[in-house]
Amino acid sequence: MVSNQLLGNTDPVARLRGYIIEGGYTHGVRLPPERQLTETLGMTRATLRKALDVLERDGLIWRHVGKGTFVADGAPVGASSALAGLGRQLTPFRMMRARIAIEPGIAREAAINASGDALSRMMQAIDRSKAAANWSEYEAQDDVFHRTVAEASDNRLLLSLFDQLNEVRRAVAWGNVTRHSERPTPTHVSFTEHDAIARAIGERNSAAAGDAMRAHLLSVAQRLFGEN
């Protein structure tokens, strides 16, 4: 049985992650087949696969062709539950302030250490977000973009810190965000902001990368809360 609170979560990644935690799926256990997951979680197969991609990239699951999807042996299931509990105690405003405090520093490190492969994956996430058919797909690619920045830092501690921050973010009760279109428009401000972050990282300009990330997160906070 899936809880109403879980089904009410509009973030497909958080919904899938919550399903794994609520269902007690432990390390090495195989998840139900995709058809069953789409029916249980109320999402399309395309959306489910994008969520699975994110969890696989986060190291929480692994997939074997012909055998199925499994909870990774190193997946911090207990930690996920604890971090989710912390998220439920945070206001969205406090969550954004934490991101503003932490992610610009990660972007600065990314500008110093990013590999060519990391930069390619960053641009791929940007391109996919611009091609998203709906807001759910955009948000999944936005999540991927920010994690690729953390990966580009080439620092396992910073990446782990980002993953924990992201886990808490997914558990925060954001409420209903009003959307005025079916999908992001070509002039969606985050597109320009993401481009600026990636450009600064690609140019190895650590100060500009940090400033661009901070400006982006402040812009998101302004749209959400009307705060500077």
Q: What is the pTM of this model?
A: 0.67
Cβ 169 vs Cβ 146: under 8 Å = no
Per the domain annotation, does 82 fall within a domain?
A: no
Q: 217: domain CATH number?
A: 1.20.120.530
Q: What's the CA gap between 214 and 193, in Å, rounded?
A: 10
Q: What's the CA gap between 111 and 69, in Å, rounded?
A: 34
Claim to verify: residue 22 and residue 107 sit in the same structural domain: no
Residue 44 has pLDDT above 80, yes or no: yes
Q: Whole-angstrom distance between the N-terminal and C-terminal Cα of the chain?
A: 42
Q: Which of 35, 50, 75 is the last residue of a domain?
A: 75
Claim to verify: residue 124 and residue 52 sit in the same structural domain: no
Mean pLDDT of 132-154: 89
Claim to verify: residue 34 and residue 142 sit in the same structural domain: no
DSSP assignment of 186-198 equals TT-HHHHHHHHHH
Claim to verify: residue 144 and residue 105 sit in the same structural domain: yes
Claim to verify: residue 105 and residue 206 sit in the same structural domain: yes
Residue 7 has pLDDT above 60, yes or no: no
Claim to verify: residue 38 and residue 107 sit in the same structural domain: no
Percent over 90 (pLDDT), the chain: 44
Claim to verify: residue 147 and residue 71 sit in the same structural domain: no
Claim to verify: residue 32 and residue 115 sit in the same structural domain: no
Mean pLDDT of the residues in the chain: 85
Mean pLDDT of 78-97: 76
Claim to verify: residue 71 and residue 100 sit in the same structural domain: no
Q: What's the CA gap between 126 and 119, in Å, rounded?
A: 11
Cβ 119 vs Cβ 198: under 8 Å = yes
User: Which domain covers residue 49, as residue numbers?
Assistant: 4-75
Which tokens go with 160? Answer: 């782990």
Claim to verify: residue 147 and residue 203 sit in the same structural domain: yes
**pLDDT band at 3, cuts 50/70/90?**
low
Claim to verify: residue 57 and residue 96 sit in the same structural domain: no
Domain count, the chain: 2
Per the domain annotation, does 214 fall within a domain?
A: yes
What residues contact 192, with CB distance under 8 A and at least 6 apart?
none
Q: Residue 228 has what pLDDT? A: 45
Per the domain annotation, does 148 fall within a domain?
A: yes
Q: 40: domain CATH number?
A: 1.10.10.10
Q: Residue 6 has what pLDDT? A: 57
Mean pLDDT of 66-80: 66
Per the domain annotation, does 83 fall within a domain?
A: no
Mean pLDDT of 62-81: 68
Say which range, 70-74, 79-83, 150-154, 219-223, has the weakest mean pLDDT.
Answer: 79-83
Claim to verify: residue 184 and residue 122 sit in the same structural domain: yes
**pLDDT band at 223, cuts 50/70/90?**
confident
